[in-house]
A and B are shown apart, each in its own frame.
Chain A
Amino acid sequence: MTGWRRRIWLGGCVLVLTFLVTVPFLLMAGVNPLAAYAQFLIVPLTSRFGLLEVAVASIPLLFTGAAVALAFRAGYWNIGAEGQLLLGAVAAAGIGARVSNLAPPLAVLLVLGGGVLAGAAWGLLPALLRVRFHIDEVVTTLLLNPVALLLVEGLLNGPWRDPVTRFPESPRIAVSAELPAVVAGSRLHAGFLIGLAVLAVTGFVLTRTPAGVKLRAVGLGPDAARFAGIDVARTLIAAALISGAIAGLGGAGEVAGIQYRLTGGLSAGFGYTGIVVATLGGLTMGGVALVALLLGDLTVGASSAGRALGIPSQAGDIVQAAVLLVTVAMLAVNRYGRRRRPRAVAVAGAGL
């Protein structure tokens, strides 16, 4: 498909441009850029501990990447995975602290289910505004992200504040609500497997079911989809809700698998990075998995590069930010290119 080549081309551009953009900063920090990238990308993969940590770091990105990719496939530009993930975490922390008397499978299911519902609920309003009033979801989903963060901080500084330490942290969740470890003695929890399962199911639905083809048709040609009898509004709302649900599940996974409580720093911009993951991954679920692991690699590598090369650990953040900005820029270029394609038939009648 022509779209395929275009995606690979865009992905390649992003990588090359990111490298070029970050070289001056790495030179300013006094390190050889190639050595820095070796630390960022290769060193984490050379040890068992490093590999497990890479997987851990990729978990939230698997969810947000899948969430964003699914929405984008439907032509629904959900930039709100960050807020949806936070709401999922809020629900998980709230439920998790109250299920100590339930057996583990049920408690975990309740926590994750709460995350799913909360994430979907946070995505509902922008979807309705888009479908009913044609209000651009890019703006509304984006603007709801800081609202979600304020909600988290309000809870942590208000009702959920730790009564003893006065730290802005929610009460620890019940042990029965924790996600089990995949590899004993490591931080790698079942969220990783759930994330991969979500990717597999989403990918399967998109390519193998009528609903998936309808969703793609709506994204590729909303007019044609409507003409073919596909309910575009319903499809968009469904895509938005499922996208929010997946992001919310990711938030619940972070609470139940790693943090065990809600903190102000629960998300290191996972929702925004999810946009990078989805876009770089070519909006395919396999691509999302690869890019999530790549960025997990980068995250782990950047934190160790600080120690190994004596450069500020923010260098990793710079690379991440550069990837994000370059991706957004390429996305804009891509959209601009699409918009400018002339519509021959529309012009013919324009004289009237």
Chain B
Amino acid sequence: MQESGGGPAGLVELRGITKRFGGLVANDAIDLTLAAGEVHGVLGENGAGKTTLMRILYGLTSPDAGQVLVDGRALAIRSPRDAIAAGIGMVTQHFALVTPMTVSENLLLGRPEGLTIDLKAARRRVEEAADRFGIRVRPEAAVADLSVGEQQRVEILKALAGDCRVLILDEPTAVLVPQEVKALFETLRRLTADGMAVAFISHKLSEVLAITQRVTVLRRGRVVGAVQTARTDERELATLMVGRPAQAAERPRGSPGPAVLEVVGLDASGRQGLPALRGVSFSVASGEILGVAGVSGNGQTELAEVLSGMRRPNAGSVEVAGRSVAGLGPRQMMAVGVGRIAEDRHAAVVLDLSVAYNLVLEHLDEFRRGPLLDEARIRANAEELIERFGILARPDDPVRTLSGGNLQKVILARVLSRGPAVLVVSQPTRGLDVGATDYVRGELVAQAARGAGIVLISEDLDELLMLADRILVFFEGRVVGNLATASADPEQLGLLMARGTAA
């Protein structure tokens, strides 16, 4: 199972790469070989060191120790310029595109050649790429008008310019709908058939199994497994990645109780004042988890904001336990029993205040003695919640110093300790590692069992399929699908998300 040097001839070889950030060892003597013609999966939880390793290969980060060999020769890669010269290209999670410019113009920006601008050559390159690799994107389109998937294709085209032989993709599927993932995989197959090496970074097991030939699994900065994809399975990879078999938060789905949240004909505007929600109606019963799916930017954020009291709807009604609450502010929303887990965790807590204060921030007036704050009770409350929710922090620590998982636990503790009747939860496990993810999901399930009605907004389809009783699909601010999870399949959901229709 464990292989050492038994793979195909290495195009790029990483030897003993070590990188420390302060006391944290991000990469600990990592060996990795990328061979021509293979998609090599780099698998690991958040914080396992995948991105650091790839940034080192691309010259964005310099290693403390170790060597990079290209074609068997040691090479010092000090900047992306060195990497590109060595035939290494990278597509990061954050695109570096000039959005008002066209695709061709962006390609020229990536690699200005000579003194004059040759838009025709850039255009030819786009057309060539379409033929050779199946990367389809209109050269004249402004990048701003493209979908995220198309923008990613432009980034890949940029990386492929010149004599790129090694392509690094950092979590490329995180922003894609299932159909776009398919197209990306098709492209990767053609690229490797052409003799390229692709490093495919992911923490999604199914994708790694589907597209890679070999997988290197990282955990806490170390290589814990290097396997042939054909000879492994989801279970083994998950065990390697987490260090224990991952378990899904399965839950008994009983018959739901009375409706606790009723939304009818909701209209709301988004950040730029454009309509973001158009006639949205649904209801959530006590004990029910209602999933909300959609490609980001189709109204989910605004729905969460309206239900949290952060955004005033233009029309429609929202009732919590029969009481009309549309247009109320955050304070009143909490008062009627709505608990809110926001999409942007960092905007839900005051980062420079302590854990103890953040835990009582929503209900400061209940923690006072006369006109003064009751510091003793605030502290006792913090200690109790830290214990109950397993938060790795002290009451006086500024929240800024907490990891993502612990930060989310602070927010959960603040909300769940109030026993809300309705929970509005946005992207609750985004960016969390498997352990924290399991914990958060378990808490949500427990809340539903307690009788809370939960609106679960998530871009993680697996999460919705695992937790939700029903799934609403949002497209351009409308509800285009309302499916019982038992009868929903990812393909159908993907079509609804991408096109607004399953037909």
The answer to whether A224 touches B364, judged by C-beta atoms less than 8 angstroms apart, is no
**Interface band, chain B:** 35 or more
- Among A16-24, A126-134, A180-188, A210-218, the stretch in contact with B: A210-218
The answer to whether B400 touches A227, judged by C-beta atoms less than 8 angstroms apart, is no
Per the bound structure, the CA–CA distance linking A41 and B334 in Å amounts to: 55
Residues of A within 8 A of B375 (CB): 208
B304-346 residues at the A interface, CB under 8 angstroms: 308-310, 329-331, 333-334, 340, 342-346
Per the bound structure, the CA–CA distance linking A2 and B353 in Å amounts to: 11
Main secondary structure of the interface of B (DSSP, over half): mixed
Neighbour of A2 across the interface among B175, B344, B398, CB < 8 A: B398
Residues of B within 8 A of A3 (CB): 352
The answer to whether B357 touches A220, judged by C-beta atoms less than 8 angstroms apart, is no
At the interface, yes or no: A345 with Cβ under 8 Å from chain B? Answer: yes
The answer to whether B296 touches A228, judged by C-beta atoms less than 8 angstroms apart, is no
Per the bound structure, the CA–CA distance linking A210 and B364 in Å amounts to: 6
The answer to whether A227 touches B310, judged by C-beta atoms less than 8 angstroms apart, is yes
Main secondary structure of the interface of A (DSSP, over half): helix
The answer to whether A352 touches B297, judged by C-beta atoms less than 8 angstroms apart, is yes
The answer to whether A224 touches B349, judged by C-beta atoms less than 8 angstroms apart, is yes
At the interface, yes or no: A337 with Cβ under 8 Å from chain B? Answer: no
Residues of B within 8 A of A352 (CB): 148, 296-297
Residues of A within 8 A of B352 (CB): 1-3, 220-221
At the interface, yes or no: A209 with Cβ under 8 Å from chain B? Answer: yes
Neighbour of B296 across the interface among A210, A224, A227, A349, CB < 8 A: A349
Per the bound structure, the CA–CA distance linking A221 and B347 in Å amounts to: 7
Residues of B within 8 A of A346 (CB): 344
Residues of A within 8 A of B362 (CB): 228-229
Neighbour of B95 across the interface among A2, A209, A351, CB < 8 A: A351
Q: B56-87: contact bitstring with A at CB < 8 Å (1 yes, 0 no)?
A: 00000000000000000000000000000000
At the interface, yes or no: B6 with Cβ under 8 Å from chain A? Answer: no
Per the bound structure, the CA–CA distance linking A221 and B357 in Å amounts to: 13
Residues of A within 8 A of B330 (CB): 226-229
The answer to whether B398 touches A1, judged by C-beta atoms less than 8 angstroms apart, is yes
- Among B132-140, B211-219, B260-268, B365-373, the stretch in contact with A: B365-373
Given known A213-B373, A345-B344, contact A226–B310 (CB-CB < 8 A): yes
User: Footprint of B on A, CB under 8 Å?
Assistant: 1-3, 208-210, 213-214, 216-217, 220-221, 223-231, 343-352
Per the bound structure, the CA–CA distance linking A351 and B373 in Å amounts to: 44
Residues of B within 8 A of A347 (CB): 94
The answer to whether A213 touches B364, judged by C-beta atoms less than 8 angstroms apart, is yes
Residues of A within 8 A of B342 (CB): 227
Residues of B within 8 A of A221 (CB): 347, 349-353
At the interface, yes or no: B151 with Cβ under 8 Å from chain A? Answer: yes
What's the nearest-Cβ distance from chain A to residue B132, in Å?
25
Residues of A within 8 A of B310 (CB): 226-227
Residues of B within 8 A of A344 (CB): 346
The 8 listed contacts between A and B (C-beta, < 8 Å) are: A216-B350, A216-B353, A221-B353, A225-B350, A227-B342, A230-B331, A230-B361, A352-B296
What's the nearest-Cβ distance from chain B to residue A187, in Å?
37
Residues of B within 8 A of A209 (CB): 368, 371-373
Residues of A within 8 A of B344 (CB): 223, 345-346
Per the bound structure, the CA–CA distance linking A345 and B353 in Å amounts to: 20
The answer to whether B364 touches A227, judged by C-beta atoms less than 8 angstroms apart, is no
Neighbour of B348 across the interface among A224, A350, A351, CB < 8 A: A224
The answer to whether B350 touches A229, judged by C-beta atoms less than 8 angstroms apart, is no
The answer to whether B334 touches A229, judged by C-beta atoms less than 8 angstroms apart, is yes
